[in-house]
Structures are given as structure tokens and as C-alpha cells.
Structure 1
């Protein structure tokens, strides 16, 4: 049967297939249009608000306290004795000395210059006595405000002696003024004038 059919077995061998990648040819871009306004510029959008992260700080735990327990000392022995002496009273404090008063001197009338004249009626009656007067003397030695403090007596002749002393010194400037701390001052004084017949 093989030979009678006269068929020939032919093996067909296919040639290898070669593949190529062909790029697509793109047409050239169209030319840009002329005299067109530039595209508008838009401001960039504001950045979105992002809240800051919340930071929680935990306080450190307190340090452990160190306590020291001391034992109480044993009580001191009790001794019974005399009571303690009372405290001494404070020493008295001396009061400050008061300031010294200012040094004063009294005015002096110069009776050698202002010698009163003996009244004739008193001289005839042999009247004697003492007339005490008060007065004020300024820093120049002038006398004013003369007054009889104690009269020489009660008779008319005695009153004449008192008037003679007042008229002899009142308004006159013959004396040494009084002083306060060594400086002349207007001061008051008293003086006793003795009436005596020679």
C-alpha cells in the first residue's frame, strides 16, 4: 500500500518570521497663533490653615520625701531645789539733764550821774528812808516805765522822796543794760535808793 499510492511524504519547513517596529509618523504641530493675549495669571491659592499640634507636657512626679524619725531623748532627771532667784530689776535710767538756763545779768542805774536832789521839806523835817523802784532799761542804758514798788514812808515828806527818785531816773540814759548770755538785752530791774542826811 505504501508504494501503490505513490505518495511522497514532504516535510514543509516554514522560514523564520522577522518582525520590525515601525514608528508612527506624526504630522508637525501647527504653528502658534499670532497676536494672542498671554494667558491670565492667577494668584496662587492661600495655604490651607493647619492648626499647630497640641503638646501636652506631663509634670514629673514629685520626688519622694525623705523623713527622718529621731528617737526622743530620755527625760532628764528631775531635781527639786530652791526656786530660782527673781530677775534683778533694771537699772534706773538717768533722765537727761535739762538745758542750762541762759546766763542773765540785771541792769544797773548809775546814781552818781542821776543823783536825786534831796527835797527841802524832807531835809528840814530830818526825814530819811528807802525808796524801792522798778524800771525797764534798753540796750542803750535808757530807763523807762519807772514805778515805786515800796515807798520810803507814809508821810507827805516821804512821798516827796519817792517822787524825787522817779523824776531823777525816768527817761534818762545813764546805766548799764542787762545781758542774756553775754549780749545786751532790754531787761527790767529793781533798785533801792537810800535817803540819808549827811
Structure 2
């Protein structure tokens, strides 16, 4: 009987591990090659560079429904360019419990001059 209890425990432990995998929330993502973020002309002329951190609320169909700047690059034009560029981008929807769902996703974008 002792051996049966060990096997039953192992099966229950594996079942619990699988269930927790599906219960996780996975944030939305995007392909940077398919999303254009234009460097603002004024920022180019003023040689502005920096990293903007933003959050995007992405619906279950992959469209952006809300956005906010979490940390500014220090230049409003660069921050606005990120929001504008990614708000029009099609995301791969995030998931909750394995199904497409509305989720927040964070993006850090570095504006650099070559």
C-alpha cells in the first residue's frame, strides 16, 4: 500500500504542476520587424537619444486599447513616437489560463543615433 501512495502523490504533484502552467498569465508580444517606430525629425535634428519604457493594454484580438509611459526617455517627442508606433501595431494576444485575453505588456525601446 505504501508504494501506491507514493505513485498517487507523484501523479497529483504532476497534475498540480500542469494546472499551474495553464493558470499563468502570458503578456502580449509583437514582432519588431513588423512594427514601424519613426524617429521624430525634431529629435534627429536635436540629436536626442534615450530609452522609453511603456505599457500597452492589448485586447484578445491583438489591438492596443490603452497605453502609458512608465519611464520617459527624457524627451517628449521620443516618448510620443513609441506610443504612436506601437499603438497601431498588431500584437500577438496575451493569454490567461491558456486562452487569448486582454493583458498589459511592457516595452522598453531605445532610440539611438548611429
Alignment of structure 1 residues 147-158 onto 2, 5 Å = 147-153=68-74, 158=75
Map of 1:168 onto structure 2 = 85
Moved over 4 A (4+): none
Query: Is 1:135 aligned to 2:56, yes or no?
Result: yes
1:134 Cα deviation from its structure 2 partner: 1.0
Equivalent residues in 2 for 1:10-21, closer than 5 Å: none
Would you say how many aligned residue pairs link Structure 1 and Structure 2? 97
Mapped pair 1:197 → 2:107: no
| Cα drift, residue 187 of structure 1 | 0.8
Where does the alignment leave 5 or more consecutive residues of structure 1 unmatched? 1-96
- Aligned counterpart, 1:145: 66
Partners of 1:189 and 1:110 in 2: CA distance = 13
TM-score, normalised to structure 2, is 0.73
The structure with the greater share of residues assigned to helix is: 2
Output aligned runs, 1:23-38, within 5 Å. Answer: none
Structure 1 residues 159 and 139, CA, compared in 2 at 3 Å: closer, same or farther?
same
Q: Which has the higher contact order (CA 8 A, sep 6+)?
A: 2
**Larger strand proportion of the pair:** 2
The range that moved more, 128-137 or 105-114, is 105-114
The structure with the largest alpha-carbon Rg is 1
